[in-house]
Amino acid sequence: MYKRIRELREDRDLTQTDVAKYLNCSQVAYSHYELGKRDIPTEVLKKLALLYNTTTDYILGLTNDKKSK
């Protein structure tokens, strides 16, 4: 999961600061999500899925399909 949110961010050429602003959290807090030092709250997971136009299942590693069917 943590690797996927980093890859999604990098694919969009976004910085951790960019995503942190979108999530209304600090860059350090977001960094902890990517490093697996902090669990990702459900609301944050949903916002990330919307930002990256993907599914929460993809972010969680339950599917390799980035788009819902």
Q: What is the residue extent of each domain of the chain? A: 2-60
pTM: 0.90
What is the CATH number that goes with domain 2-60? 1.10.260.40
pLDDT digits (tens, 9 = 90+) for 24-62: 999 999 999 999 999 999 999 999 999 999 999 999 999
| Contacts for 47-52: CB closer than 8 Å, 24+ residues apart | 47/22, 47/23, 48/5, 48/8, 48/19, 48/23, 51/19, 51/22, 52/8, 52/9, 52/12
Given a cut of 60, whether residue 10 has pLDDT beyond it is yes
Using pLDDT thresholds of 50, 70 and 90, give the confidence band for residue 19: very high
pLDDT at res. 1: 83
